[in-house]
Amino acid sequence: MSPQVSLSADQIIGDKQNNLLEDFLDELFSGTLPKFATFSFTVETIDPLAYLEINWQNDQFQYYWEHPADTFAIAAQGTVQTITGNGPERFQQIQTAVDTIENSIKEFSAVNHRYDGTIFLGGFSFFDVIANNNWKSFEPASFTIPKWAIIKDGKYSIVTLGVELSHWDDREQLYRYLLAQLKKIQNGDHIGTIDTKKTQISSSNLSELGTASLNNGEYHRWESSIREAKQLIADNEFDKIVLARQVSIPASKSIIPTELLNNFRKQYTNCYNFLVHQPENATFLGTTPERLGSISQQRLQTEALAGSMRRGQTATEDSLLEEHLAESSKNISEHNFVVKDIKERLRPLTRSINLNGRPEIKKLSNVQHLSTPIRAELKKDVHILDVIEQLHPTSAVGGYPWEKAAPYINKLETFDRGWYAGPVGWFNSSGTATFAVGIRSGLLTENNISFFAGCGIVADSNPKTEWEETNLKLKPMLSALPYD
Ligand SMILES: C=C(O[C@H]1C=CC=C(C(=O)O)[C@@H]1O)C(=O)O
């Protein structure tokens, strides 16, 4: 498919980028063509979320990522290549597939920036297999090189276009395609053509969400699971386990995922707001406060995030609750398992690890958490996938010690976690990456919406308090939905 439009290249990307592109294409087509190519340019563009919304197509891979406080966003669509993994070797399978692709790809960049180059977008499920049919569009590991990605960092935007070269044996055709794509992205055309028909969820379904009532069957199941977990802790089986709930409601029509993302970003500015849409109407999305790991130039930032408290109605109540959180021995012990665990796991991969002895308070609009930011310098050649494999699942979403707690999660929970609490994020061929933990999240399918929320259970946890905590954690997802 090649748009036959006459374009003035210098109007779109300027003389300099265009000359470099022409030279690159001449060289590319003068020899044996590699399998793939990616092209990175700087552009002036519209809001990436608006661009994705305008161009939304259910039958294509789509991806959105935004951290509003960092003024950083990625929107992407289409598939040049998808790599998947399954079972205990899934991280290694992805790494091998990435190595193969990197040997069969040529990259053009007029930018020379940490966000240029080939980008891989996706994530991993919590466990290394997925059994439930609701998750059938999501593999236990899956990353896609998109046809286009807009990466916005402050006022600066990079567009990376990806192509499989066997579709483009004609240099001129490819050149025109690239310019046409860039022009479309720069102009943000088609604004105003989006179908804004909204799906409303009947507010009567709210009661089915089980957010309030302590008398329903769901609460009784929860209470008995927490009691069982506490008994296992008392028997020294493990020290901590994270147990979660799934809340599901039927949805008759599909919801527009970009609208939920727009709601998240207005309220959860210091969270990672994400969506991964797999073709055929399955979207995993959320607004997570938890960074699993980001890397730039072999420097890693991660965090221990565990221990929660509601927000106060007034400033005074809020600061009292903050004090209570900072001093609560139950929350501190829950948090300290995570710090200890992350330090132990990072040791083999790092030259140095830096963190403060006392956690900070991370305030979100629905809840506040204990957070310990952790910085580390990675050993040479350690890849983000090595780090993610090593860190996942931290004891903020798994348990401590993990090997002991792991078998009990499926016994004590009543659903398949799928990608909930798994690593979700992106990495690129310039060695830059960010992964977040896929909590405060939900799965939208054609007929169903499911949300997930969990909390860390330690020796002195109380089932009712933990249930209320899961309700607070469900709030971002529930309040982003369009109700009638
Ligand atoms: C497991 C979740 O939260 C984790 C992250 C922060 C605080 C947590 C807590 O206080 O229990 C959890 O460890 C969730 O939101 O589903």
Q: What is the pLDDT of residues 175-200, one digit of tens each?
A: 999 999 999 998 765 544 444 444 44
How sure is the predictor about 257, in pLDDT bands with cuts at 50, 70 and 90? very high
Per residue in 363-392, pLDDT (tens digit) is 999 999 999 999 999 999 999 999 999 999
Alpha carbon nearest to ligand 1 atom 1, residue: 454
**Rounded Cα gap, residues 431 and 131, in angstroms:** 33
244 lines ligand 1 (CB under 6 A): yes
**In-domain check, residue 142:** yes
**In-domain check, residue 165:** yes
**In-domain check, residue 415:** yes
**In-domain check, residue 281:** no
Give pLDDT, residue 189. 57
CATH value at residue 257: 3.60.120.10
- Which tokens in the block code for residue 422? 């798994």
325 lines ligand 1 (CB under 6 A): no
Q: Which residues contact 14 (CB under 8 A, 6 or more apart)?
A: none
**In-domain check, residue 36:** yes
Q: Which atom of ligand 1 is nearest to the CA of 395?
A: 13
Q: What is the dihedral of CA 431, 125, 55, 188, to 10 degrees?
A: -30
303 lines ligand 1 (CB under 6 A): no
Number of domains in the chain: 2
How sure is the predictor about 4, in pLDDT bands with cuts at 50, 70 and 90? very low
306 lines ligand 1 (CB under 6 A): yes
**In-domain check, residue 196:** no
Helix ranges restricted to H, 235-304: 257-267
Mutate to test the pocket of ligand 1, among 439, 470, 472 (most ligand atoms within 8 A of CB): 439
Is 330 found in the same domain as 401?
yes
| pTM for this predicted structure | 0.94
Mean pLDDT computed over 78-88: 98
**In-domain check, residue 292:** no
Is 396 found in the same domain as 265?
yes
242 lines ligand 1 (CB under 6 A): yes
396 lines ligand 1 (CB under 6 A): yes
Alpha carbon nearest to ligand 1 atom 8, residue: 306
339 lines ligand 1 (CB under 6 A): no
CA of 159 to the centre of ligand 1 (A): 35
Residue ending a domain, among 122, 152, 187, is 187
Is 228 found in the same domain as 131?
no
Is 216 found in the same domain as 84?
no
Is 168 found in the same domain as 222?
no
Is 144 found in the same domain as 109?
yes
Is 41 found in the same domain as 15?
yes
Long-range contacts of 132-136 (CB under 8 A, 24+ apart): 132/415, 132/416, 132/418, 134/416, 134/418, 134/443, 134/445, 134/448, 134/450, 135/282, 135/416, 135/418, 135/419, 135/443, 136/282
DSSP string, 349-395: GEEEEEE-SS-EEEE-SSEEEEEEEEEEEEPTT--HHHHHHHHSSPT
**Rounded Cα gap, residues 229 and 241, in angstroms:** 7
Is 69 found in the same domain as 42?
yes
Is 158 found in the same domain as 51?
yes
261, 298, 293, 262: which is closest to 277 by C-alpha?
261
**Rounded Cα gap, residues 46 and 164, in angstroms:** 26
**In-domain check, residue 4:** no
Residue ending a domain, among 157, 187, 217, is 187
Is 90 found in the same domain as 46?
yes
Q: Report the range of poorest mean pLDDT among 31-35, 350-354, 441-445, 479-483.
A: 479-483
Q: Do residues 300 and 294 touch, judged by C-beta distance below 8 A?
A: yes
Helix ranges restricted to H, 4-136: 9-30, 48-54, 90-102
**Rounded Cα gap, residues 245 and 413, in angstroms:** 7
Greatest C-alpha distance within the chain? 74
Residue in this structure with the two tokens 């509003």, named with its chain if needed:
68
Spell out where 201-298 has E strands: 240-250, 272-278, 282-288, 291-296
Is 369 found in the same domain as 455?
yes
Q: What is the chain's mean pLDDT, rounded? A: 91
**Rounded Cα gap, residues 137 and 475, in angstroms:** 26
Q: Which atom of ligand 1 is nearest to the CA of 473?
A: 15
Q: Which helix (H) or strand (E) holds 109?
A: strand 105-109
* Domain extent for 349: 205-271+303-420+446-480
